[in-house]
Amino acid sequence: MYKDVYEKWLHHPNLDPSYKEVLENMDEKEKSDAFYTTIEFGTAGMRGLLGPGTNRINIHTIRKANVGFAEYIVAHGKEAMERGVAIGYDNRHMSYEFAMDSAKVLATFNIRSYVFESLRPTPELSFAVRHFNCFGGIMVTASHNPKEYNGYKLYDEKGCQLVPALAQQVIDRVNAVEDELAITANPSADQEKLITVIGKDVDEEYYENVLSIQLNPNVNKDNVKIIFTPEHGTANIPVKEVYTRAGYHFVAVEEQCTPDPDFSNTPTPNPEEKGAYDLALEYAKREDADIILVCDPDADRMGVGVKHEGEWHLLTGNQSGAVLIEYIFSQLIDKDRMPNNPVMFNTVVTGDLGEKIADKYGVATEKTLTGFKFIGEKVAKYEKTNEKQYVFGYEESYGSLIKPFVRDKDAPQACLMLAEAACYYKEKGKTLVDVLYDLYAELGYYEESQTSLKLAGQEGAARIQEILATLRTSDVEAINGVKVTRFEDYKECRIVEDGKESELTGFTKSDVLKYYLEDGSWIAIRPSGTEPKCKFYYCVKGTSLEDAHSKTLAYQKAMDEMIK
Ligand SMILES: O=P(O)(O)OC[C@H]1O[C@H](O)[C@H](O)[C@@H](O)[C@@H]1O
């Protein structure tokens, strides 16, 4: 089957000429990986390797997605078409080309668009959708993935990524496109007028909104030095701008400030991985800095390094989330600014410490599936009912949102608040690691960690499915000798607790398994929806940090053996 599709592409008159040679040089395995299926919408839009093929990101699969999105907008009528779509893009290979092409395809459907003049963060695209009262948005980015990837995120009129029910309406239309190579992007001269280039005005509004999140704008900033890196991506200008206006002392990692699709001066642009901090750590030591802040290329994630007793500690997404929660909620209470019925959001695979902190401050925690779109969806829901007031949202995957004038993770906001927290605690003689240690002593010693199995290509995808399917049907009674007290299966919507089955409600079906253990820990497993990985999440509770750590290692070993 894949061979027929491959042949069709190879000989199609509309094939982008740059792909011809790549196709001709593919071996059988490459052909099969590139053509055995069509690229799908996952955790955060459509994401995949760049290159020719139905299972790749290229001008043809992007056009196909745009036709689906355009038809979806047209189905919503003239007003939706007139309100149009905001379009942003990052520094990746082909991002600019795909963004411009998207505007043109939309124009052929008489849909208005607002395209950024140059690269911008994902959160600013979400902001622009709201700013122009657009009907939707497109962000061309593969976020934190390696340089070989690109992707396409779709937004609704609130600036939130399309949730499955809406995405499905687009996907059905995308799937109905029979020949993606037949789509062209040739608007008429009149239709071209529907494309507006945007820039500075939106920047200015966005910066002002980001600056408005400050809780202690007059905190003493003189004793904290920040090392900041945008990892060659879109955070460069906004974060520097916001820091400068707010008066923070920072040094940027110059070699990583130039927009570069190859991420030449970093081993990885993903703040979840240690290599993203290599150069920043060199700067930090040279500059005798206090904290390091790392943004991913589309500036929706933030990683944090903290100097504590002369050593550098890299915080996990759960830990930086915990520090932000502690700081923001304590300040809101102190200033008598905590709203009634406050609510915080995180996901079913986010660690427990954040929720414990929220409890302490009387803030309810609601959980969603992985993907910030589900948090954005909840924000919109409560905005309508006014039943609860949003005070924070975050995920273990290094993304958070402080104020919901954006409806996706917002690293410029996170960088500003984290810097403020570092200055605030420094005045009290504490580092952010001290703040974490205090939280552990008060609320329990949690080690929240993650491991993953990289399993690429068609075979890898099948292996991941097999792992989940096998676990799903195995009756796992104990892990590392510790009893499983509760099992949740988010795909089959099942809970098994004390031998009794009940229904798991409140979530869209999703391939996630979660085991709760007798010692207060839990382990969750799911396939990544953005990378070819099977992810394992551990939230382990111990009597001390050392105890939590040794238990974590034992659980990880037990899971490794179980998977084998
Ligand atoms: O675990 P994954 O499916 O790869 O998703 C990990 C993360 O990817 C992106 O950053 C999404 O925007 C997040 O919402 C998600 O948590």
ipTM over 0.95 threshold: yes
Q: ∠ CA(327), CA(333), CA(334), 5° rounding?
A: 85
What Cα–Cα distance (Å) separates residue 93 from each residue in 58, 102, 144?
10, 15, 14
- Calculate how far, in angstroms, residue 530's C-alpha sits from the geometric centre of ligand 1: 6
Sign of CA dihedral 436, 437, 441, 444: positive
Verify whether ligand 1 is closer than 6 Å to residue 123 (CB atom).
no
Verify whether ligand 1 is closer than 6 Å to residue 43 (CB atom).
yes
Burial of 269 (0-12, 13-18, 19+ CB in 10 A): buried
- Residue whose C-alpha is closest to residue 302's, from 420, 417, 209, 220: 417
What Cα–Cα distance (Å) separates residue 154 from each residue in 163, 189, 227?
9, 26, 32
- Residue whose C-alpha is closest to residue 236's, from 163, 152, 295, 289: 295
CATH of domain 446-563: 3.30.310
Half-sphere exposure of 480 (CA within 13 A, CB side): 20
Verify whether ligand 1 is closer than 6 Å to residue 529 (CB atom).
yes
Rounded distance between C-alpha atoms, residue 243 and residue 333, angstroms: 25
Q: Which of 143, 395, 396, 525 to mutate to test the pocket of ligand 1 (most atoms within 8 A of CB)?
A: 395
The predicted pLDDT at position 1 comes to 87
Q: Please list the ranges in the chain whose pLDDT falls under 50.
A: none
- Residue 34: alpha-carbon gap to chain centroid: 25
Helices 317-334 & 411-427 angle (0-180, nearest 10): 70
Cβ atoms 100, 140 nearer than 8 A: no
Rounded distance between C-alpha atoms, residue 513 and residue 491, angstroms: 8
Residues of the chain with CATH 3.30.310: 446-563
The predicted pLDDT at position 81 comes to 98
Phi-psi domain of 410 (left: phi exceeds 0; alpha: psi -120 through 50; beta: other): beta
DSSP of 251-271: EE-GGGTS--TT-TT-S-S-T
- Calculate how far, in angstroms, residue 270's C-alpha sits from the geometric centre of ligand 1: 12
Residues of the chain with CATH 3.40.120.10: 2-198, 207-443
DSSP 542: E
Verify whether ligand 1 is closer than 6 Å to residue 345 (CB atom).
no
**CATH number 3.40.120.10 is the correct assignment for the domain at 207-443:** yes
The predicted pLDDT at position 449 comes to 96
Domain 2-198 fold is Alpha-D-Glucose-1,6-Bisphosphate; Chain A, domain 3 (3.40.120)
Torsion of CA 529, 292, 331, 340, to 10 degrees: -10
Verify whether ligand 1 is closer than 6 Å to residue 143 (CB atom).
yes
- Calculate how far, in angstroms, residue 398's C-alpha sits from the geometric centre of ligand 1: 9
Q: Which of 370, 525, 535 to mutate to test the pocket of ligand 1 (most atoms within 8 A of CB)?
A: 370
The predicted pLDDT at position 361 comes to 98
Verify whether ligand 1 is closer than 6 Å to residue 151 (CB atom).
no
Length of the chain: 564
Q: What is the pTM of this model?
A: 0.97
The predicted pLDDT at position 133 comes to 98
- Calculate how far, in angstroms, residue 61's C-alpha sits from the geometric centre of ligand 1: 22
Rounded distance between C-alpha atoms, residue 517 and residue 362, angstroms: 26
Half-sphere exposure of 405 (CA within 13 A, CB side): 18
Verify whether ligand 1 is closer than 6 Å to residue 229 (CB atom).
no
Sign of CA dihedral 459, 463, 464, 468: positive
- Calculate how far, in angstroms, residue 254's C-alpha sits from the geometric centre of ligand 1: 28
Ligand 1: nearest atom to the Cα of 301: 10
Verify whether ligand 1 is closer than 6 Å to residue 270 (CB atom).
no
Mean pLDDT of the chain: 97
- Calculate how far, in angstroms, residue 122's C-alpha sits from the geometric centre of ligand 1: 13
Cβ atoms 46, 40 nearer than 8 A: yes
The predicted pLDDT at position 185 comes to 97
Verify whether ligand 1 is closer than 6 Å to residue 410 (CB atom).
no
Q: Which of 40, 41, 43 to mutate to test the pocket of ligand 1 (most atoms within 8 A of CB)?
A: 43
Which residues are identified as catalytic? 143
Ranges assigned E (strand) in 235-339 = 249-252, 291-295, 302-308, 311-315
Residue with CA closest to ligand 1 atom 15: 371
Please give, one letter per residue, the 3-state secondary structure of 158-195: CCCECCHHHHHHHHHHHHCCCCHHHCCCCCCHHHHCCE
- Calculate how far, in angstroms, residue 451's C-alpha sits from the geometric centre of ligand 1: 15
